Amino acid sequence: MASLTEISIISRKIIRYSIYTVILIIIARFSINIGGKIYKILFPPKPEPPTVSFGKLSAMPFPERPKYDFKYKLELPEGKLPIFPDRAEVYKMPKPQSNIKVLDNAKTKAQSLGFDPNGRLLDEKIPNVYIFSKKGLPSSLTMNIITGLFSISYNLEDDPLVLRDIPPSAEAAIAQALNFLNAGGLLNDDLRNGKPTHLYLKVEGGKFIPAVSLSDAQITKVNIFRKAYGKDGNLVAVTPKMPQANIWFIISGGRGKQIIAGEYHYYPVDKNNPATYPIITSDQAWEELTKNNAFIANPGENPDGNITIRKVYLGYYDPGQYSEYYQPVVVFEGDNDFYAYVPAVTSEYYPK
Please report the pLDDT score of residue 41 as a whole number: 66
Question: pLDDT category, 51, cuts 50, 70, 90?
Answer: very high
Domain termination residue (choose one: 266, 290, 308): 266
Give residue 270's pLDDT.
95
Write down the pLDDT at residue 58: 93
Q: Do the domain assignments include residue 2?
A: no
Residue 304 domain-assigned?
Answer: yes
Compute the average pLDDT of residues 315-336: 96
Higher pLDDT, 248 or 9: 248
Query: Using CA atoms, how far apart are residues 79 and 88, in angstroms rounded to an integer?
Result: 24
Work out the pLDDT band at 39, boundaries 50, 70, 90. Answer: low
| Within-domain flag for 34 | no
Indicate if 82 and 202 belong to the same structural domain: no
Q: Cα–Cα distance between 122 and 116 in angstroms, integer?
A: 15
Contact 37, 45 (CB under 8 A): no
Confidence band of 8 (pLDDT split at 50, 70, 90): low
Domain annotation covers residue 181? yes
Beta bridge partners of 92: 270, 325
CA dihedral 155, 159, 163, 165 (to 10 degrees): -150
pLDDT 10s digits, 127-142: 899 999 999 899 999 9
- Looking at residue 196, its pLDDT comes to 96
Residue 178 shares a structural domain with residue 84? no
Q: What is the total count of domains within the chain?
A: 2
Residue 332: give its domain's CATH number.
2.40.128
Which of 182, 166, 171 minimizes the C-alpha distance to 257? 166
pLDDT exceeds cutoff 90 at 289: yes
Question: Do residue 171 and residue 117 come from a single domain?
Answer: yes
CA 159 to chain centre: 36
pLDDT for the residue numbered 2: 54
Q: For residue 115, which of 80, 142, 91 has the smallest C-alpha distance?
A: 142
Q: Which residues of 149-185 are buried (b: 16+ CB within 10 A; e: fewer)?
A: bbebebebeebeebbeebbbebeebbebbbebbeebe
Binning pLDDT at 50, 70 and 90, where does residue 230 land?
very high
**CA torsion through residues 112, 115, 120, 122, sign:** negative
Q: Which of 240, 266, 292 is the last residue of a domain?
A: 266
Give yes or no: residues 336 and 233 share one domain: no
The CATH number of residue 250's host domain is 3.30.310
- Predicted local distance difference test score (pLDDT) of residue 351: 85
Residues 124 and 262 in one domain: yes
Work out the number of other CB atoms within 10 angstroms of the CB of residue 239. 24
Same domain, 190 and 338: no
In a domain, 315, yes or no: yes
The verdict on residue 38 lying in a domain is no
| Residues whose CB falls within 8 Å of the CB of residue 218, separated by 6 or more in sequence, listed in order | 163, 167, 201, 202, 203, 211, 252, 253
pTM here? 0.85
25 part of a folded domain: no
Q: Indicate the SS3 state at residue 84.
A: coil
- Are both 146 and 245 inside the same structural domain? yes
At residue 66, the pLDDT reads 87
pLDDT band at 32 (very low <50, low <70, confident <90, very high): confident
In which domain, by residue range, is 81 found? 71-93+275-349
CA–CA separation, 150 vs 142, rounded Å?
5
Q: Which of 266, 285, 319 is the last residue of a domain?
A: 266
Phi, psi of 278 (to 5 degrees): -65, 145
Mean pLDDT value across the chain:
90
